[in-house]
Amino acid sequence: MKHEKMLMLFVLMGLFILAFIVLTLANMIITQITLDFSGLIDTARDSTIWRSIWLTLYTAFLATVIAFIFGVPLAYVLARKDFFGKGLIEGIVDVPVVVPHTVAGIALLTVFGTHGLIGAPLASYVKFVDALPGIVVAMLFVSTPFLINSAREGFQSVDPRLENVARTLGASRWRAFYKITFPLAFRHVLVGAVMSFARAVSEFGAVVVIAYYPMITPTLIYERYISYGLSASRPVAVLLILVCLTIFITLRTIAGVRRHDRD
């Protein structure tokens, strides 16, 4: 189309951003494979690495499950009810996106540390600092907004009149929710859970403050980088990103994300 100059320009500018993202990741992976393929193989055979990847996925999964249990009900309330102070609640939900990661770490340490508000009374039952629960708490803090916002969008996209009709047919509010609204919003909830999980896996700043050990992979990468430099940490980074992208693409395909379905 000769008259679509503006669109061509827009596409070109968009390609810069896309190229920046793709190039950055692709270059790392390709550099690793072409320059030091044996290093990658060695890393892939290192059980320490796999243990840390497994720990990362496991803690992220726990964080997502907790976010799901407590976040989905909140998302439903935000989608269906108007009340005074709703804007404030929505602001609070978004706060974790805004909090600098190391600040989140310090804050969580204050609360969940051995002398903290929650950490102290629980000290004889659960240890958070430098322990698995600390990792989960840090991941939960940074990842909830993704789940809640996506689920809220999902519930909003379901016409409340469907619930109304279901209730006239004899369904209680709860039954209308799990028979009608939840199934219809399920895709959004799943997408939210995927993003939330991914965000949990990606976290470093908050986790490293509250729990340097046991080492999740992002921490391991940082530790190797500081101790042995780029060439020692890059194979781990490549391995982790391959694992992440595989999971992300798989789940995204299952959830069947297409923007115009979502909007």
Partner 1 sequence: MIEIKELNRNWREFSLTNINLDIKEGEYFVVLGPTGAGKTLLLELIAGFHHPDRGEIWIDDENVTSLPPEERGIGFVYQDYSLFPHLTVGENIEFGLRLKEISESDMRRRTKEIGDLLNISHLFHRSPRTLSGGEQQKVALARAIVIEPSVLLLDEPLSALDARTRDVLREELRKIHREAEITTVHVTHDQTEAMFLADRIGVLMGGEIAQVGTPGEIFNAPINERVAEFVGVENIIEGVIESNEDGVTVISINGHRIEAVSTYSVGDRVRVCLRPEDVTLAFSRERSSARNSFKGTITQVVPLGALTRVRVDCGFPLMALVTKRSVEDLGLMEGDEVIASFKAIAVHLIR
The answer to whether the beta carbons of residues 62 and 143 sit under 8 Å apart is no
Q: How far is the CB of 124 from a copy of itself (least distance, A)?
A: 21
Can you tell me the distance from the alpha carbon of 122 to that of 18, in angstroms, rounded to the nearest whole number? Answer: 47
> Choosing among a copy of itself, partner 1, none, which partner's interface includes residue 166 (Cβ < 5 to 8 Å by kind)?
partner 1
**With binding defined as CB under 8 A, does residue 85 bind a copy of itself?**
no
Q: Are 113 and 129 in contact (CB under 8 A)?
A: yes
Nearest Cα neighbor of 136 from 189, 210, 50, 230 is 210
Q: What, of partner 1, a copy of itself, none, does residue 162 touch, CB below 5 to 8 Å by kind? A: partner 1
Q: Taking a C-beta distance cutoff of 8 angstroms, is the pair 73, 202 a contact?
A: no
Q: Kindly state the number of chain residues that form the binding site for a copy of itself, as judged by CB under 8 A.
A: 102
The percent of the chain in helix, strand and coil, each rounded to the nearest 5, is 80, 0, 20
Binder among 103, 162, 165, 254 for a copy of itself (CB under 8 A): 103
Cα(233)–Cα(212) distance, integer angstroms: 17
Site string (201-240) toward a copy of itself, x via CB under 8 A: xxxxx--xx-------xxx-xx--x----x--xx--x--x
Contacting residue, 170, 227, 253, 263, with partner 1 by CB under 8 A: 170
Output the smallest distance, CB 101 to partner 1, in A.
38
Query: Any contact of residue 117 with a copy of itself (CB under 8 A)?
Result: yes
Inter-residue contact 94 to 201 (CB < 8 Å): no
CB of 173 to partner 1, least distance (A): 7
Of the ranges 25-33, 40-48, 158-166, 179-187, which one interacts with a copy of itself (CB under 8 A)? 25-33
